[in-house]
Amino acid sequence: MSDCFDRAPGAGRGQGRGRGGGALLSGSGAAESGARLGGSGFHSSGPAEPQHKSGFLQQQEPLRPPKTAPPGTGNAEHMPQTKVPPVSQDKIAAHDCGSAMAKPQLVVAPVATSKLSVNAPEFYPSGYNPSFTDSSFEDGCDGYPTLTEYVQDFLNHLTEQPGCFETEIEHYAETLNGWVTTDEALQELVELIYRQATSVPNFSYMGARLCNYLSHHLTINPQSGNFRQLLLQRCRTEYENRDQAAKGDEATRKQFHAFVLFLAELYLNLEIKGTKGQVMRAEILQTGLRELLNALFSNPVDNNLICAVKLLKLTGSVLEDAWKEKGKTDMDEMVQRIENVVLDANCSRDVKQMLLKLVELRSSNWGRVHVTSTYREATPENDPNYFMNEPTFYTSEGVPFTAADPDYQEKYQELLDREDFFPDYEENGTDLSGAGDPYFDDIDDEMDPEIEEAYEKFCLESERKRKQ
């Protein structure tokens, strides 16, 4: 082949050379080959001169792997490639006469590698206990060796699925009545619930509801005290250490704050029957919350103040109503203390903002909105929505006025009587006018020419803006 060919890398590999090794390109054959190669980016600078080399076939050079894998083969790096085995010289020479370039042939063997296995262990989400299932719960405590495991599994079940409380609590209480028959078992039950309510985030509300239900449905009543009495005794143990806990390290304060919020939930959810059978809240918890607030504000670090804000947001309205019934001004004193903390305490700016928002919430009656009076009793003085459904009229200058405007009351009533809006319609829109009513017969379905022209202009303008 001529030396004056500018060959691209890899061009002409695999072509036969030498005597007897195949057809050599010369004369018209070289021109024809050059024409074929010209279409593939090759060009000739002169006539090709045959070169005679040694009479043996050169070893075929290894093909360069493609930069991108063929479609559907996946990752080419991990696919083994099988080269075409070498063939005889005659076949190579015949193939070279038919085409100027040998085309590589790759056979991609599929690789099936996977880390999945039928023998892999079962997967459970974090916090899920596979031993507690619906079937095991329905079987009661028969599948559990101890009361602790049964109660702990049910508490975890309530934590993960709080919506099942209403449907499963009755069966759970019946099962406990058959198991909790001693003082030690009852105390263990109280301790398990208390620990779950003060250690698991967002379980304080569910724990308070559970305590309220069990306090009314557990039949055991030992000499040491029933379920509610033992629960309050356990809370009192933590309550007596409130001053030390509020001054403790971060871990101690975090545990103390969980107890404070659980006690607040107990105050809202624990129902006690009075002497006359009326349902009331535990007054002792009301006093305890007041002292807990004092302990938190006496040590005005950020997390103590945040806990106090959460406590007052949760129970502030109920506490203030209870104190007002007794003629106490405890909430006013608490608000004054909050304002002093904002002015004097060395707390962060965000916490001070939270305290100010709390004071603002209390000034709005804790966000409570009183129900407006009934329609018969509604007047413009006591119902701000009294004129909501009344029509609006406009003066000749385009000034709107309603029935609430004192300067236009006579004019408004005159227009209202003259227009006689909806004379034969009920509130649900039922047409009672019947056929031939003069009010509806006077209505012209056709638009006024001026209105029709304005409407057409509006449609054209809208179409023009839409096409822009």
What would the pLDDT profile of 290-305 be if each residue is shown by its tens digit?
999 999 999 999 999 9
Pairwise pLDDT comparison (304 vs 424), residue with the higher score: 304
**Closest CA relative to residue 252, chosen from 307, 290, 293, 184:** 307
- pLDDT at residue 320 is higher than 70: yes
Predicted confidence band of residue 438 (pLDDT cuts 50, 70, 90) = low
Position 356 pLDDT exceeds 80: yes
- Average pLDDT of every residue of the chain: 73
pLDDT tens, 273-282?
877 778 889 8
pLDDT tens-place string over residues 79-136: 444 444 554 445 444 444 444 455 555 555 555 676 777 777 766 555 555 544 444 4
SS3 273: strand
Mean pLDDT of 395-419: 72
Stretch 376-390: mean pLDDT: 58
pLDDT band at residue 61 using 50, 70 and 90 as cut-offs: low
* 463 or 104, which is more confident: 463
Q: Is the pLDDT of residue 328 over 60?
A: yes
Give per-residue pLDDT as tens, 205-248.
999 999 999 999 998 888 888 999 999 999 999 999 999 999 99
Which residue from 304, 263, 298 is spatially nearest to 284, judged by alpha carbons? Answer: 263
Rounded to an integer, the average pLDDT of 458-465 is: 84
Burial grade of 125 (CB within 10 A; 0-12, 13-18, 19 or more): exposed
pLDDT of residue 25: 38
pLDDT for the residue numbered 383: 57
Please state which of the ranges 133-147, 262-276, 443-457 shows the lowest mean pLDDT: 133-147
Q: Residue 152's CB: how many other CB atoms inside 10 A? A: 18
Contact 402, 392 (CB under 8 A): yes
pLDDT value of residue 349:
92
* Choice between 82 and 377, residue whose per-residue pLDDT is larger: 377
Residues with Cβ within 8 Å of 282's Cβ and at least 6 positions away in sequence, in order, are: 232, 266, 267, 270, 272
**CATH C-level class of 147-367:** mainly alpha
For strand 271-273 and strand 279-281, is the pairing parallel, antiparallel, or unpaired? antiparallel
Q: Average pLDDT of 304-325?
A: 95
Percentage above 90 pLDDT, the chain = 40
Domain boundaries, the chain: 147-367, 386-420
Report pLDDT digits (tens) over 8-18.
Answer: 454 444 444 44
Give the per-residue pLDDT at 468. Answer: 75
Identify the pLDDT of residue 153. Answer: 92
pLDDT category, 395, cuts 50, 70, 90?
Answer: confident
How large a percentage of the chain has pLDDT more than 70? 59
Give the whole-angstrom CA distance, residue 259 versus residue 199.
9
Predicted pLDDT at 20: 41
pTM over 0.75: no
pLDDT above 70 for 149: yes
Angle at 346 between CA 345 and CA 350, to 5 degrees: 95
Q: Is the pLDDT of residue 43 over 70?
A: no
**Local structure of residue 425 (DSSP, 8 states):** B
